[in-house]
Amino acid sequence: MQQAGEGDRVRIDIPDEADVDHDLHGAHGEVVTVLHDDAGDVTGVDVDSRLYRVALDSGRTVDVRGRDVRPPIDD
């Protein structure tokens, strides 16, 4: 996904079962806000600097990196 903005529906994509946030894999929600930090400077990957705060359909709110956000799957 290029860039999501506030109000966009997204799907969380963390397929690596070893990732501590794997339990979020496949969850859908709405972007509440987009935050920025310097992670991209450390990793060399610009998308890593975008942190999305997502209100999941389950009611939980989480922060995920840009690399973990995809367009939603239509029901």
**pLDDT by residue (tens digit) across 44-58?**
888 888 899 999 999
Residue 71 in this model has a pLDDT that exceeds 60: yes
**pLDDT by residue (tens digit) across 5-40?**
999 999 999 999 999 999 999 999 999 999 988 888
| Tokens of residue 7, six digits | 């109000």
pLDDT band at 75 (very low <50, low <70, confident <90, very high): low
Query: What pLDDT shows up at residue 42?
Result: 87
Higher pLDDT, 1 or 6: 6
